[in-house]
């Protein structure tokens, strides 16, 4: 993985970290981002922030009204139900709509608390905590799962959920955010799902998938 991280750093540099959002904001954004683009997620999150004065108002809203507001992100009813249920649970559990107390929790505790809720899988929890709590956690999305399989870092039957545990020990310490962001860029531009551009990829020599391609090689 160090070789991969170094190669991607040469190609894409070290991605800047955005100013840290609150953990609850980051969680809601990540829930909205499921199965849609960053652009649509941002549209829905912006609409949410404009329509409601704060998370208390969102929690009090009818899920159907919430679904209408976040429609740009798709799956409005499902996402609204999950957001609503989470906010109401949090209010009942902690008395306030904030997740900042998670800064004091261990990685395992924070992940366990988030993933006990519907719609919050390991990837969503890791993304939330990586972005908003600056933790050295490595979320595995569909691009990273595909690339890891092609490079032989995980076996063909390892699911994206299982890949978190398999890949975490391979990530160079302190570089989870950089590697995650650069792999997303790599997966979107070079090691694409269809027709990967292997001809311009510096990882060819180390890529078992490339060696299976018929000659002339793709890309
Ligand atoms: S050689 Fe091709 S399949 Fe392998 S990592 Fe590079 S782009 Fe992906």
Q: Find the 80 Cα to ligand 1 centroid distance in Å.
A: 38
- Threshold 0.85, pTM exceeds: yes
So which residues are the catalytic ones? 123
The reported pLDDT for the residue numbered 216 is 59
Q: Are 77 and 36 in contact (CB under 8 A)?
A: no
**Hey, what domains does the chain have and what are their CATH numbers?**
2-14+140-212 (1.10.1670.10), 23-132 (1.10.340.30)
Q: Is 204 in the pocket of ligand 1 (CB under 6 A)?
A: yes
Q: Is 151 in the pocket of ligand 1 (CB under 6 A)?
A: yes
Q: Is 148 in the pocket of ligand 1 (CB under 6 A)?
A: no
Residue among 1, 143, 147, 183 whose CB has most ligand 1 atoms within 8 A, to mutate: 147
Q: Find the 164 Cα to ligand 1 centroid distance in Å.
A: 21
**What is the C-alpha separation between 123 and 132, in angstroms, rounded?**
14
Residue nearest to atom 8 of ligand 1 (CA): 191
Please state, in angstroms and as integers, the Cα–Cα distance from residue 179 to each residue in 87, 109, 192, 201, following that order: 31, 24, 17, 16
The tens place of each residue's pLDDT in the chain, 219 residues long, gives 899 999 999 999 999 988 778 999 999 999 999 999 999 999 999 999 999 999 999 999 999 999 999 999 999 999 999 999 999 999 999 999 999 999 999 999 999 999 999 999 999 999 999 999 889 999 999 999 999 999 999 999 999 999 999 999 999 999 999 999 999 999 999 999 999 999 989 899 999 999 998 875 544
**What is the C-alpha separation between 45 and 67, in angstroms, rounded?**
12
Q: Give the number of residues written for the chain.
A: 219
**What is the C-alpha separation between 165 and 219, in angstroms, rounded?**
32
As a whole number, the mean pLDDT across the chain is 94
- Which of 176, 140, 139, 170 is closest to 158 using CA atoms? 140
Please state, in angstroms and as integers, the Cα–Cα distance from residue 26 to each residue in 23, 57, 112, following that order: 5, 18, 17
């Amino acid at each position: 993985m160090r070789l991969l991280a170094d190669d991607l750093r040469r190609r894409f540099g070290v991605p800047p970290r955005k100013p840290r959002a609150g953990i609850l904001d980051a969680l809601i954004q990540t829930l909205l981002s499921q199965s849609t683009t960053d652009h649509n997620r941002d549209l829905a999150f912006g609409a949410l922030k404009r329509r409601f004065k704060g998370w208390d108002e969102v929690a009090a809203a009818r899920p159907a009204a919430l679904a209408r507001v976040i429609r740009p992100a798709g799956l409005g009813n499902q996402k609204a139900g999950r957001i609503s249920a989470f906010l109401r649970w949090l209010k009942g559990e902690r008395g306030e709509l904030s997740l900042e107390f998670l800064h004091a929790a261990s990685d395992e505790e924070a992940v366990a608390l988030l993933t006990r809720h519907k719609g919050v899988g390991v990837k969503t929890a890791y993304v939330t905590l990586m972005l908003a709590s600056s933790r050295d956690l490595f979320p595995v999305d569909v691009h990273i799962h595909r690339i890891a399989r092609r490079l032989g870092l995980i076996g063909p039957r390892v699911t994206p959920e299982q890949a978190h545990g398999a890949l975490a020990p391979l990530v160079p310490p302190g570089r989870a955010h950089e590697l995650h962001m650069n792999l997303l860029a790599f997966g979107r531009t070079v090691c694409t799902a269809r027709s990967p551009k292997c001809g311009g990829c510096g990882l060819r020599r180390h890529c078992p998938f490339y060696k299976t391609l018929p000659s002339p090689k793709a890309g």
